[in-house]
Amino acid sequence: MKSLPTALFTLTNGKSSGRRNVRQLISLVLIVLVFILISSVVFHWIAAHENMVSDNNNNEIKWYDGFYWTMVTMSTLGYGDITFSSPLGKFYSLVVMLFGMLSMFVILPFAFIRFAYEPWMEAQNAARTPRTLPKDTHGHVILTNLDAVSRALIHKLEQYTNPYVLLVSDKDEALRLHDQGFAVAVGDSDDPEAYRNVRVEQSAMVVATGKDEANAHIAFTVRELVDNKVRVVTLAKSEASIDILELAGSKNVIRLGEMMGQFLSRRTIGNDAMAHVIGHFDELLIAEAMVMGTPLVGKTLAECNFREITNTSVVGVWDRGEYKGAGPETKISESTVLVLAGSKEMIQNYNGVFCIYHIEESHVVIIGGGRVGRATARALAKRGLNYKIVEELPSRIRNDKYYVLGSAARLEVLEEAKINEASTVIITTGQDDTNIYLTIYCRKLCPETQIISRANSERNVGTLHRAGADFVASYGSMGANIIFNLLKHSDILMVAEGLNVFRIELPPSLENKSLVESEIRGRTGCSVISIQREVDGRDVHLVHFEPSEVLQKGDELVLIGDIESEEAFIKTFVSS
């Protein structure tokens, strides 16, 4: 009943479609009424011809009997109290019955569907795909595209119960996305009125992840409406677009391809045992270090007195793509990569101890010479690592010294790139199907080689791991984390696909509890790697602490865990 007024309005509103609906409905009603009137007149003419009476009591035919007989015959009820006996009368009865059947099975159903059911459905769909958000909507994120980055960002926003709306131009597409669980609003991304309708002036952020030209249009449109009150975040594929997007009004321009290349290069086995910083939280640095060729190999962390020697903390280890939390009994092998946490001085102290250890010269094969592949090569060059890029499009060849022209699916091309000598193969193409195919192929050719792959869609990350990739970096996850950090003015560091280091204020439920009493790791799967606490008027990061360390009001925890563990922590300690 709530939708009845809306349905009536849809039928009778002042728009041309509403007026046309009314005219068609009136036309059908008039056709039926005219037929009933004519049939009643003809009925009296035939009845007079037959000297018909209404029943066995020889009552005369009244004027209203014509309408009565017509309605009974059209509805096929056939009471039989008034009937024709002549061939003409019977033929006429058939005509009236056929029209009645046509009315019941065609005209009436059509009228019901066209003028009752369809308006009701349109009203329902309009409620599911609004053009205008409520006036009290605020603090929401407005998304203008649905792609891998937006999907991952939506998942993150829902995880932290942050409101959002996805602007969709096509009503049918908006309805389909709503049925999939997305919060949508109908409107064109280049229409100022659409942004007014979704309360852009009360939003926290507008995110544009489409083409550079479209992103510039969106940024300029939003900036004209709200000046600098709302943060506009855009992605940029071309370096030349950065200045244009900033001039258009984008507060943050993200070159995700460049960042992806740097991330892939950090996962590459290098030719030294030094710690390489992958991110930071204020003064707390997160770094990774290879142990190949060092005295640590074959020992546990307890046996090598790691904390005493380096003054850093090992928060976890990688072993052929699998992450494990670190403890005193963690065994170190040739393929182990340490995940370290500490201050700048601590990391420098670690490097001072292990800088003397070098392994043989590394050779890296990069498959794909697009934006991500070239960014990966530049990052590897800064580390002094040798590389070859395999690319099948001649237009992408920049320097023959570093490129091999041809398809990576051909063995002779990979052999020319010296894949048999490679310590690492990095697959950077923009097609997940191609990346899976090449991962399977390279793993078959080089069982012991480190394989790093890019994924565009999060759902293909697991498939790439099963195909043989040691590390997988998702384009969508990386972009979502960066944008979410800008929204929350906080840090979520993606150590690897599905594994994040994140910071969160100490929930009240954990105040005055020790780490062992809180059972954070046992209940959520997250590990505390640092406690940020105010000491003598300044914030410090406690990296070395005992399980008996008591958590205090005002502390901030830096934790490491996968997506499921992060969600479990929020549900267990924050949302409860």
Nearest to 70 by CA among 84, 59, 58: 84
Question: What distance in Å separates the CA atoms of residue 505 and residue 558, rounded to the nearest whole number?
Answer: 9
Indicate the fold that domain 363-476 takes in CATH.
Answer: Rossmann fold (3.40.50)
423 contact partners, CB below 8 Å, separation of at least 6: 268, 269, 362, 363, 364, 449, 450
- Indicate the burial class of 357 (C-beta count within 10 angstroms; 0-12, 13-18, 19 or more): middle
pTM confidence score: 0.68
Question: What distance in Å separates the CA atoms of residue 80 and residue 82, rounded to the nearest whole number?
Answer: 5
**How sure is the predictor about 250, in pLDDT bands with cuts at 50, 70 and 90?**
very high
Beta bridge partners of 499: 496, 562
Rg of the chain over Cα atoms, rounded to whole angstroms, equals 36
Q: Tell me if 272-354 shares its fold with 498-574.
A: yes
If you average pLDDT over residues 356-377, what whole number do you get? 85
Q: What kind of architecture, by CATH, is found in domain 498-574?
A: 2-Layer Sandwich (3.30)
If you average pLDDT over residues 1-9, what whole number do you get? 45
Between 356 and 419, name the one with better pLDDT: 419
- Reduced to 3 states (helix: H, G, I; strand: E, B; else coil), residue 302 is coil
- Amino acid in position 98: L
The pLDDT value recorded for residue 339 is: 87
The answer to whether 258 and 237 are in contact (CB under 8 A) is: no
Question: What distance in Å separates the CA atoms of residue 495 and residue 160, rounded to the nearest whole number?
Answer: 20
Indicate the fold that domain 272-354 takes in CATH.
Answer: Alpha-Beta Plaits (3.30.70)
Q: Which long-range contacts (CB under 8 A, 24 or more apart) does 562-566 make?
A: 562/323, 562/498, 562/499, 562/500, 562/525, 563/498, 563/500, 564/525, 565/524, 565/525, 565/526, 566/159, 566/500, 566/502, 566/526
Round the average pLDDT of the chain to a whole number and report it: 84
**How sure is the predictor about 369, in pLDDT bands with cuts at 50, 70 and 90?**
very high
- Reduced to 3 states (helix: H, G, I; strand: E, B; else coil), residue 369 is coil
> What is the percentage of the chain residues whose pLDDT exceeds 70?
89
How many distinct helices (H) and strands (E) make up the chain? 22, 22
The pLDDT value recorded for residue 123 is: 67
The pLDDT value recorded for residue 96 is: 87
**Class of CATH domain 141-254:** alpha beta
The pLDDT value recorded for residue 404 is: 95
Q: What DSSP state is assigned to residue 2?
A: T
**Class of CATH domain 4-128:** mainly alpha
**How sure is the predictor about 27, in pLDDT bands with cuts at 50, 70 and 90?**
confident
The tokens for 286 are: 């997160």
Nearest to 143 by CA among 180, 187, 193: 187
The ranges assigned to domains in the chain are: 4-128, 141-254, 272-354, 363-476, 498-574
Question: What distance in Å separates the CA atoms of residue 557 and residue 507, rounded to the nearest whole number?
Answer: 9
Beta bridge partners of 277: 287
Over 90: is that where the pLDDT of 28 sits? no
**How sure is the predictor about 21, in pLDDT bands with cuts at 50, 70 and 90?**
low
- For 180-219, the pLDDT digits (tens) are 989 999 999 989 999 999 999 999 999 999 999 999 999 9
If you average pLDDT over residues 129-141, what whole number do you get? 89
